[in-house]
Amino acid sequence: MVALFTLARYVVCRLEYAATVTLKSYEQGSKGVDLWKNFFQGKLTYMHWNKGEEMAPTIGSLGGTLLVRKIPIPDPKLVSVGDVVVLKDPANSDNYLVRRLAATEGYEIVSTDDKDEPFVLEEDQCWVVADNENIMPKQEANDSRTFGPVSMSDIVGRVIYCLRNAVDHGPVNNSKSSMRYDSSVLEVELDVEEMVKNHKV
């Protein structure tokens, strides 16, 4: 049973999400935008299967079923450095990558390679990296060290829970502010049994 305080926080999260989606639709010229329809429609999360070893050990080396919190308008107020995010693959916009947000606009990026010049991320730019320290950064990580900065608007969600297998699962370590912000959503919408059913082996 979900505590009343948690439920109240969850309702606030739904209202914020609905207001953001409604405003975004209005700004894009949609007519008949309805805040309450957006409030009652669907969940704030979705499941995503991630394969590959780039995010090990956060997501197992064989991959994992992820619970992802939807982010309608990614900006530094909604997504923080340290968060594990789902973003459109810069090489193929039909695919999605899971990477850790390492820097946002205004951060200076300095390479360990002396041949690379330092630079500052511009407005709407971010830098994402793989968690796995046992792979070669520029050859295997498939992150910003390979493809450079990406647009914040390419971020579609934040990973809040990972199921590696039926007995190995738990919340994903994000920034403290995001984990606090997502706690009520996780408590209300997490269904481990459903994740196990949808898990790919």
180 assigned to active site: no
> How far apart, in whole angstroms, are the C-alpha atoms of residue 109 and residue 149?
10
> How far apart, in whole angstroms, are the C-alpha atoms of residue 119 and residue 44?
36
> Catalytic: which of 9, 69, 99, 145?
99
> How far apart, in whole angstroms, are the C-alpha atoms of residue 33 and residue 48?
28
**Phi and psi based region of residue 110 (left: phi greater than 0; alpha: psi -120 to 50; beta: remaining):** beta
99 assigned to active site: yes
> Catalytic: which of 9, 14, 54, 100?
54
Q: Name residues whose C-beta falls within 8 Å of residue 180's C-beta, 6 or more positions apart in sequence.
A: none
Catalytic sites, residue numbers: 54, 99
